[in-house]
Structure 1
Amino acid sequence: MEDTPKSLNLVLIGRTGAGLSGNTILGQQAFISKESSKSVTQEVSVQSVTFGDLSVNVYDTPGLYDTDINEETIQQTLEKFLQTCKSGPCVFLLVIKADKFTEKEKEIVEKIEKRLGEKHLKKTWILFTKGDELDEENMTIQEFLDDTEPLKKLVQKYDQRYHVFNNKAKECTGQVRNLLIKILKSYCDTLEDVPEILNQNPLKRKSYKDIKPDAPADSLSSRRIVLLGKSGVGKSAAGNIILGEKPFKSTRSASSVTSECLVQCNTVSGRSVSVIDTPGFFDTQMEQGELAVKIAKSVYISSPGPHAFLIVLRVIDRYTEQEQQIPQHIEWMFGQEVVKYSIILFTHGDQLEGESVDEFIKENSKLGDLVGQCGGRYHVLDNKDENNRDQVNDLLQKIDTMIEQNGGGHYSNQMYEDAQSFRREAEEQRQREERKQDETVRAENDPERSEQKKEADTSSGFKRFFHKYQHYFKLAAVVIGISRNPNDS
């Protein structure tokens, strides 16, 4: 299987004077850029920027398609790009101003398409510039396309591969990251050498009636809960409050205490509850490979699928664009429609000091957007009243209501079902090997050694699962890395 890209090549092409510049992507004035009817960029130039572990190389081109440059020079330039792009995926960004689409511009686009050829057109995105002018007119890109029939048809021809840049935005990293994530998603979907199972979209959510029956021990009242959030928000402490005991290590610290994915179980209000604690996936400085393994582990130990994903936030924290991206990230990590099984869990609710949580959410637009993405579902834990079981029972009731709204049962997809199969096979193999041993010999075995053998068998199942789905987990790690600030890795 083709490995996860460590670099991405973006080649900017389009008409001279159409805002053909990678400065927005780079976050700095690296290329000469100004409005002109003549080409500003005379030679191909390249600049790079890093998002997490992903190196993004941006190629600024001369206005090849509306100048007097001869055909031979154009072809040589294209060949140069294609040779360079062997170091990673190569994507062409066809830069078009979000304005009237004239006959002259239409001719230029047709010329570009002819010269790139069908193979490279499948890797071409339309990049609309001057999105700020649409904002000033209070117009969305969809409304603009509906009013501009030629561009609407062009976008349809490119299978909706387009993105909009606000070139006047002071903070451009969000719109750039969203572009990169879109490109990576498309890259993943179009790979030709991934296993057949991955072409069947194993991340697609399965409805309750299509889910394979769980193991007999998994009763209808049992609950599997996955805790997600940045480092230091109180995931482990929340897990301890839910379970009514303290199996997870928890300290007051802004840094992550949990470095591994852990699962702990207890009987809560007469039902079996399993809580899966995870490292701070969204702000981690882990290497890409290590992060991919730990994401996979969180899937493996929560199979056949969680009943709830709790996105943990502290009420006293400032909510940023990074928190708004969490729903998008968890869909990359766990599968489509996981937000339908997600609840925002506020910790340290005692620090609201009497303020209504509804008012608190209304006062923070970014937080309101995040809660909205999770269907308006949220819950508040009072960490100073950790023995208050009413707040835990209320949370479990909200999870029950969410499950009912989703048609019953836990979240699942093909990936989760495969994880469960690998776990079951590993356990059955361990049991078969134990039965082969003489009863007397087994009775004399060191219990610690027996436990180590069990962990080794579990590890073998996980290795098989990770091998099958490593491509997805590595891409998820890349996407999370993109969300860090450029050059902070």
Structure 2
Amino acid sequence: MLQLHVFTLLGTSSPLSELRVVLLGFKDAGKSSSGNTILGREEFQPGQRSAVCVKRQGDVAGRQVTVVEAPGWWSCYSKELSPEMTKRAIQLSPGLCGQGPHVFLLITRADILFTEAQMISARQHLELLSERVWRYTILLFTHGDWLGDTPIEQYIESEGDALKWLTEKCGNRYHVLNNHNSTDGRQVTELLEKIEDMVAGNGSSHFKMDKGLLRDLEEREKIERSRAEERMMKVKQHRHGLRSTQGQIHQSSLRIILLGSKNYGKSSTGNTILGEDVFELCTISKCEKREGEVAGRQLTVVDTPGWELHSMDNPPVFLKQETSMSVSLCDPGPHVFLLIVALDTAVTSQVILQLQKYLTLFSEAIWSHTMVLFDFGDWLGDTLIEQHIESEGRDLCWLIEQCGNRYHVFNNEKKDDKDQVTELLAKIEEMLAGNSGHHYETDRNRLEEVKERREKEEERATERLMKVKRQRKHLQSLKREFLGQCEPAKRVRTLLHATRVLYYTTADVDLGDVDVLSLHAPRSTIDDVSGDGLLDELHSDMVEPTDESTVPGEVPVGALMSRVLSATKILGFQAPMPDMASLGGVWEGVSHSSPQRCCGRHGVSRYSAPNSIQVAVSWQRLPIRPTQG
């Protein structure tokens, strides 16, 4: 632990006239906000996605400070899932700092759990700059206000091995920033002093890029830029040829199906196309169809359930059926399948394999009617989409060519940008012209097979449901029959109020093995427990009603009297209450977790409410005399 404090206590090195800083970290870690806090003004735009580095400069505490923000990565993604443009921008970020940066600030948040997956991701992305990067790295915690009075050292020790490993990998150099209090100049001054201490410890040196790596990156980028220009010209010529041979192309109606992975923005894309929020932004298990008029065309848009394209697990059969049946909502068939691809995630060979499985639900002709739609267009900035395609390499290039070099970029953050929608519709019409005006021909035989299979499954599901209902009805009749045989016990009371349960009995009442449960609680609480209304059928005359004044604003609901086994089945208790009746006295039960509903046995009992919250109740007999009924 001594080593943790040595660095923060140095502060003895001479101030440098110039400091060059590179900000690294995962998305939403607070890089932009940290850059603004360091420079003392709004220079970076928090929340803005970018595939390129952003450089800003300013005078801070008598020093000329250069700050470079590199693109962020997804916190739990390995480097293989980060786009090539992101990785290359990280590798080239030192070149924006003149001779080289004095420090890399690795930014993480103090208000979220730091996991092993985040540690692996941070290590892989930093080591894109070589193993030497760790000598020049300081761990910068954002959301410092969340810590309150807790020392950062205590936080590091409590968070586990992953964060401790990362802290030690950074030479136990760390600092805390509260970007919500950016006017506090002391936290910035202290950070600059720590950077100067580190520079002194490195012999006043800065990070130097590998010149061989730099040459390779520049040569690769030059080749990709040339290929991107060739692709762009090829696409323009193809589109021009279609326009010149087909004349004016305009469809009065277009039918569109959205395909893609979960969380890739299918629903947002549908809303942007139709110009209003008609699809809910949530995971769906069934296809949804919406219609509207856009740019003089009647549009039908079908959203489909998303797949896990980054997983090799096979999707559920129900999901496959639902996806293949999407074409039935676009009768006689869709004009286009828009395959949604996120720009800020790599298209790997594993994604291509899953995608091929995905599209085999349709006929081979689907490729002639598919266009790749890149989402998160704001991430590109001023970078051409063709350059991104070429930088990603073989897998994405294969997908684009398989779709006939048809692609488009959407920025769903700018729903009011009608030009991106109009251009998309024009590209769809051009594709339709290239297909001689033909829409996708649905495989009727395959569709009928899926429908027939679905109908049989629904019939079996209905039979199962009816069987369960009959079983429950039979059990309820047995319960009522048994309750009718029970002797009323009017001298027994139970009061459920907040977290305390009092169970009153008199010694001269012989209840044998009968338990009594009387509930006095808000209707919402009782409904959560009863679910199917069983408590409404209970005989309230078995127990004296509780005094309503004891629990203001709450309603006494009734009482349940049954044997231990029945009580266990009805409310899902895993254990009966203690034999309070034969023991007599006043018993108290205390709930140990929410919701505040109590019942149980001597010692501790647990039951699972329908909302799956576990409740534990301890019972004890109080040394006071019972209230006589």
Q: Bin the TM-score by the shorter chain.
A: 0.3 to 0.5
What is the TM-score when the length of structure 1 is the normalising length? 0.39
**TM-score when normalising by structure 2:** 0.31
Q: Which has the higher contact order (CA 8 A, sep 6+)?
A: 1
